[in-house]
Amino acid sequence: MAISTSNYYPKDNHDVVEISSSNKRNFKELTQNGQIQIYQSSYRGSYSSIISDSLRNAALGRKVLLVQFMKGGVNQGINNAVKLCGNLTWIRSSHSFDQYNSEEIQNNKNLKHFIHDSTYELWNFCKKELLSDKNDQIILDEIFLAIEMGIIDKDDLISTLENRFISGDVILTGTGIPKDLLLMANQITELRS
């Protein structure tokens, strides 16, 4: 029997184990989830190394989804995702908190509503991707800020992570990480200035 500790399987590997003996048995398909990695920092904008790693992984042939929940300046949205290295899909909200100043958001209820809806739409897209086997790595940048702002429900994230179907790793970044999510992590990295 062969045992592998690698979390990275090519798409043509069906993860089916067959044992040859007089009582040959076929075992049902095995699912393997990669690790949950959390990168935390006391300040925003400290995750450039994660983004460069995602580019490297895409260049090596892994299918990577990079989702930035709070970054602005690129009017992307789900329908205008950017493809890099042929394998990296990079998505930002179509309306982001970082695109506007906080006073403008507080004084304009419609704008606040658009930002909230855009971020929540992005989260629903991410949930579908986490429950599919389309990606080898998914990065949810600043998802904890979206939880802190009440846009994404923490329990919804936990449930989605528990039921994920991805052979590679899920990377979560942010500040103010809830304790129950820290307890789910296989790896926690604290970035310091």
All domains of the chain in start order, with CATH: 33-191 (3.40.50.300)
Other CB atoms within 10 Å distance of the CB of residue 55:
16
- Give the CA radius of gyration of the chain: 19
SS3 track for the chain: CCCCCCCCCCCCCCCCCEECCCCCEECCCCCCCCCEEEEEECCCCCCHHHHHHHHHHHHCCCCEEEEECCCCCCCCCHHHCEEECCCEEEEECCCCHHHCCHHHHHHCHHHHHHHHHHHHHHHHHHHHHHCCCCCCEEEEECHHHHHHCCCCCHHHHHHHHHCCCCCCCEEEEECCCCHHHHHHCCEEEEECC
| Residue 1 or residue 144, greater confidence | 144
pLDDT of the residue at 15? 41
Most confident by average pLDDT, 73-77, 100-104, 129-133: 129-133
Question: Each residue of 73-83: pLDDT tens digit?
Answer: 666 788 888 88
pLDDT of the residue at 155? 96
The chain-wide mean pLDDT, for the chain, equals 78
Q: What distances in angstroms separate CA 164 from CA 1, 82, 98, 140, one per listed residue?
A: 27, 24, 29, 14
Other CB atoms within 10 Å distance of the CB of residue 179:
6
Banded model confidence at residue 176, pLDDT cuts 50, 70, 90 = confident
Angle at 180 between CA 186 and CA 5, to 5 degrees: 15
Q: What is the mean pLDDT of residues 104-119?
A: 83
pLDDT of the residue at 75? 63
In terms of residues, how long is the chain? 193
Banded model confidence at residue 162, pLDDT cuts 50, 70, 90 = very high
| Nearest CA among 9, 12, 11, 49 for reference residue 33 | 9
| Nearest CA among 52, 72, 55, 51 for reference residue 63 | 55
| Residue 11 or residue 59, greater confidence | 59
